[in-house]
Amino acid sequence: MGAIATGVALGLKEIFQPTNIEPVITSPAPGDPPDADERLRVILHPDDPTKSVAIMPKDTGADPDPLR
């Protein structure tokens, strides 16, 4: 009886907590996005936060798109 209960418990564990972890395939995109000059850029320094920089885009005078 104990072997049957153990088998059921291990089967349920395999269903609700699978052990196969599949790797995620990623690929870097070359270049900057087409609107890179219109976006706020933030460059964070990993060791010294006071050396982090935020670069604001130039004001074109046009109304900003609120949905962007």
Q: What is the pLDDT of residues 40-53, one digit of tens each?
A: 889 999 999 899 99
Higher pLDDT, 10 or 63: 10
Would you place residue 67 in the very low, low, confident or very high pLDDT band (cuts 50, 70, 90)? low
What per-residue confidence (pLDDT) applies to 64? 59
- Give, in order, the Cα–Cα distances in Å from 10 to each of 23, 32, 42: 24, 49, 49
CA 54 to chain centre: 21
Helix (H) or strand (E) holding 41: strand 41-43
pLDDT at 65: 60
Per-residue pLDDT, 66: 57
- The tens digit of pLDDT for each residue in 3-30 reads 999 999 988 888 887 777 777 788 887 8
Contact 27, 33 (CB under 8 A): no
